Amino acid sequence: MSDVDSFDPVAFLERAVGTPSHEDVAAMRELLVDALATHGVEATVDDAGNTLASKDGRESGPHVVLNTHIDTVVPHIPPKRDGDVLRGRGSCDAKGPLAVLLAAFLATDPERGRVTLAVTPDEETASTGAHYLDLDADCYVVGEPTELDVCTAARGRFQGTVTLTGSAAHAAEPESGVSAIQGAAAALRALDSFDDSRGPGVHDALGAPTLTATTIEGGEATNQIPAECSFVVDRRSVPPETADGFFDGLRAHLRAAVPDAVGVTVDPQERTTPFLEAFATSEDSDVVHALADAGAGDVRPFGAATEASYFAREAPTVVFGPGSLADETGAVAHAEREYVDLPEVETGARIATAALRELLA
């Protein structure tokens, strides 16, 4: 029996999917800590709720961090096994990747350096756990559903509210007021030209950024010139754009496009943690080569923003794991039909183990 086989990632995954973690991660965290203890590894839980465990080699070397999260979106969907397919909430996002990384962690005794398993509690919401981590790593493998491809880049996501202000008047005499809705119309048109004048350009791996208005509201009465109108913008960024740079640029761009009589403000979404910014890791990084050499799939971008954003500021970071965000039928992650192919989980465990051993040999 191999070291990987001594821990059964599929059996762990079935228990994990059966453990609700959409509102409270305490039970799921306990399951993880108990699994580590069963294999002789003591875990700690820090003040932000992160579960941490490490193994050290006999000699100095790289510090490799394996990261994913234990929280899921609502609602909880109990596990249902259908042959080689496991359905249920979290099966691919991200308890399937957790099972893979846990298997690799338990199967590896570093010859040099250090491996740390760092599992966060709130990736689907505020990412306070990931923001709190300070691990001084040399590379990160972040578990998300990538169909076992090695994802070296991902777009960021920023959200803000654009508010236009004018002055109310009777609709029978529109010239006596200043319409915030007319100001919003000018601002919405200006979104289309933002990237041509102030955007970061087209990224080699991620392509062009996007900027989209997603909701709008304004006006108080059907016979009144509206004094206020606002809309929400969704920004999918590419390197090297930062959140601060984007919002500063958008303020200046909209101010120039909207009539002077209309006030314009751009307010970032209120967050207790930084926005998830875009990142890109070199395909020549050791962690990319190790996973590719171990049998991982294509090297490509990831389709969603992840906590990898926080770690990529520090060290080369890749996203890897079983399952897919979507298939030919539609959404998989976050959908009621969420599932993972169990042979893919087993293969992922073997790949992650081989890559980790190469990095720490």
Q: Which of 106, 82, 85, 109 is nearest to 9 (CA)?
A: 106
C-alpha dihedral sign at 332, 334, 339, 342: positive
CB 112 within 8 A of CB 360: yes
Q: Where are the beta strands (DSSP E) in the chain?
A: 44-45, 51-56, 59-69, 80-82, 85-87, 112-120, 139-143, 150-154, 156-165, 169-170, 210-218, 224-225, 228-237, 263-268, 279-280, 299-302, 317-320, 339-341
| Residues acting as catalytic residues | 71, 123
How far is it, in rounded angstroms, from Cα 41 to Cα 39? 6
Q: What are 220's two structure tokens?
A: 């108080």
Q: What are 217's two structure tokens?
A: 């509201």
CB 79 within 8 A of CB 91: yes
Collect all residues with Cβ–Cβ distance below 8 Å to 57 and sequence separation of at least 6: 109, 110, 111, 112, 113, 114, 360
